[in-house]
Amino acid sequence: MQAINIIYNRIQQFKDKTSLYWNNKSYSYCDFIHLVSFWKKILVEKGIKKGQICAFYGEYSPNICALIFALLLNENILVPFTSAIEKEIEAFSAIAGIDWLFRFDERDEWTLGKIEKYHGKNELIENFYERDVPGLIVFTSGSTGKPKGILQDCERVMKKFIEPRESWRTVLFLMMDHFGGFNTLLSSFAYGGTAVCLPDRKPDTVCKIIDESKATLLRTTPTFLNLLIASNAYKNHDLSSIKLITYGTEVMPQSILQKVKEIFPNCQIKQTYGLSELGVLRSKSESDDSLWVKLGGKGFETKIVDNVLWIRSEANMVGYLNAPNPFDEDGWMCTDDHVEVKGGYIRILGRKSDVINVGGQKIFPAEVESVLLEDSNVKEVSVFGMPHSITGNIVAARITLNQPESQFVLSERLRKHCLLKMAKYKMPVKFIIVENGQFNTRFKKIRK
C-alpha cells in the first residue's frame, strides 16, 4: 500500500486548501480528513473487514469522496454505482459478488445494507486477495456486447499520482462508475486540487457551477461540448476561470473543436485517451485546434499494427470478471481504434465497430458528422451504416435540428454541402430527423 499511503499522507498536508465544492459550499482538506476519519470508524463499527467488496451508489459528494479514501485505506474492493446503471445494479452486484452496499441521496445522507445473496466469489477476486491491496471494479458500457466487469489494482492506479503535479479546480463531469471519472477524482485530491461536484450535467447547470466555484479544469466529452455550444448556456455565465478543457471517450469532430476554441480563446484544449482496462495515458495535443495527439507517458507503450492502436501498460487491469483476458502473451491490448500517423502524433479515426463499409470503401462516421455539424441548423448528428443489397451498406444520418425544417429542404442543402467537402461515396444517402437526444447518460454519442 505504499502509493496509497504516500498520497494520503500528502493530502493531510494540504490543511486549509479547498478540497471540495459541493452544494454551494466549500470544504477544506482538514474537513475532508475529518470525514475520512469518520468513515474509517464506521467501517470498524459495522464490521466491514479488509478485502470485503463494498459498493456505493450516488453522485460525487463529500461523504462519497471520503468513503472512497476510507475504503482504499481499509484495503477493500470498491464498486461505484450511479443512476446511469440503475437498472443493471442487481446484475452487476452478482458479477462483482458485493458484500455491502452504501446508498447516498441528494442530501448526502446514507444507508448501509449487507448483501447476503452474492456469497460466491469470482476466482479472479479470490486470487487478488493475495496482493493485500485495495481493488476497484468498474463495468464497460456494453455498447458492443455484454458489459464486462473490470478488476483494477488500486495500488497500481495510484502510482501514477506519486509525482506531484499542478493542482486544478476540477469539474467532476465524468461519472465515478467509469474509470475516467474515478481517475479524475483521485488526481484532484492527490495534487491538492478542488473537486467540484455537480447536481446534474445539463449545460446550464455545468456553466452555473463553473461560474460559482471558479473551476479551472473541465474534463468532458465531445458530445457534451457540442450540446454546450447548441444550448448557448456559455453566454449566460462567466466561464473565464476555465484554463483547460480536456475531451475524450469518443472521436471529436473537427468542426466542434474549432467552435470550442472560438468560444474559449484563452483556454488550453487537450485531447485525452484512456481505457478502463489500461488506465489513462499522458497526452499532448499538437495544438488546441488539432486532433493530432501524442500518447504515452511513464508506464505506457504504444504501437500501431495495420493502422490500429495497441497499448501496453504497467497499470493494466487485473482482468475481466466475466470475460476472457484481452491481452496477448506480451501484455499488449488491441484498442480497436483506427488511427493515422504523422511523425510522433496520431489521429484517432474511430472504432472498428463504427466503420461503415460501402462497396469496399471504409468510412469513419466522425468525419461525416463533422461536416454535417457545420450547418447552422444541425444541433446533433449520428452517422451510421444501413444494409444495402448492392453496396453492402449505405451511409445514413440521424439529425436533431435547432429549428423545425422540412426534411426535403434539409436533405438537399446538406447533400450540396457534403459534395463540396467529401468524396461522393462518403455522403449520407438517407437523412432522418429525430427530436430526442442522440446520446446516453454519460454524454457519449449513440450511433447504433
Q: For residues 87 and 33, which has the higher predicted lDDT (pLDDT)?
A: 33
- Identify the sign of the CA torsion 107, 112, 115, 121: positive
How confident is the model over 328-380, as pLDDT tens digits? 999 999 999 999 999 889 999 998 888 999 988 999 999 999 999 999 999 99
Q: Which residues are bridge partners to 309 per DSSP?
A: 304
How confident is the model over 161-185, as pLDDT tens digits? 999 999 999 999 999 999 999 999 9
Pair 309, 390 in one domain: no
Question: How far apart (Å, rounded) are the C-alpha atoms in residues 380 and 160?
Answer: 37
Residue 281 reports pLDDT greater than 70: yes
How confident is the model over 221-261, as pLDDT tens digits? 999 999 999 999 999 999 999 999 999 889 999 999 999 99
Q: How confident is the model at residue 41 (pLDDT cuts 50, 70, 90)?
A: very high
Pair 82, 36 in one domain: yes
Q: How confident is the model at residue 302 (pLDDT cuts 50, 70, 90)?
A: very high
Q: Where are the beta strands (DSSP E) in 169-233?
A: 169-171, 194-196, 217-220
Phi-psi region of 251 (alpha: psi -120 to 50; beta: other; left: phi over 0): beta
Based on the structure, what is the number of domains in the chain? 3
**pLDDT (mean) for 279-307:** 90
Helix axes 2-11, 62-73, angle to 10 degrees: 140
pLDDT at 142: 57
Regarding pTM above 0.85, the answer is yes
pLDDT at 226: 93
Q: Residue 334 is part of which domain span?
A: 289-351
Is 246 inside any structural domain? no
Within 10 angstroms of residue 120's Cβ, the number of other Cβ atoms is: 7
Pair 300, 153 in one domain: no
Pair 395, 337 in one domain: no
> Of the candidates 159, 184, 210, which is a domain's last residue?
159
**pLDDT (mean) for 128-147:** 83
Q: Where are the beta strands (DSSP E) in 237-352?
A: 244-247, 268-271, 273-275, 279-285, 292-296, 300-305, 308-313, 319-320, 333-342, 345-351
Measured in whole angstroms, the distance separating CA 129 from the mean position of its chain's CA atoms is 28
Among 104-113, 120-129, 137-146, 435-444, the range with the most confident prediction by mean pLDDT is 104-113
B/e letters for 319-341, b = 16+ CB within 10 Å, e = fewer, are bbbeeeebbeeeebbebbbbbee
Grid coordinates given for 396: 445514413
Q: How much of the chain exceeds pLDDT 70, in percent? A: 98
Helix axes 365-372, 254-263, angle to 10 degrees: 50
pLDDT at 120: 64
Tally the C-alpha atoms within 13 A of residue 335's C-alpha that lie toward its C-beta.
Answer: 29
Question: How far apart (Å, rounded) are the C-alpha atoms in residues 286 and 292?
Answer: 6
CA distances from 261 to 121, 187, 233, 347 (A): 49, 25, 16, 18
Pair 28, 130 in one domain: yes
pLDDT at 303: 93
Pair 407, 295 in one domain: no
pLDDT at 225: 95
**pLDDT (mean) for 84-104:** 92
Pair 77, 142 in one domain: yes
Task: Tell me if 43 sits within 8 A of 71, measured CB to CB.
Answer: yes
Whole-number CA gyration radius for the chain: 22
Q: Which CATH number characterizes residue 52's domain?
A: 3.40.50.980
> Of the candidates 351, 369, 400, which is a domain's last residue?
351
Q: Which residues are bridge partners to 79 per DSSP?
A: 55
Task: Tell me if 268 sits within 8 A of 241, measured CB to CB.
Answer: no
Q: Which CATH number characterizes residue 302's domain?
A: 2.30.38.10
Q: Which CATH number characterizes residue 389's domain?
A: 3.30.300.30
The answer to which of 29-43, 55-69, 270-284 has the lowest mean pLDDT is 270-284
Q: Cell 507517458, residue?
A: 297
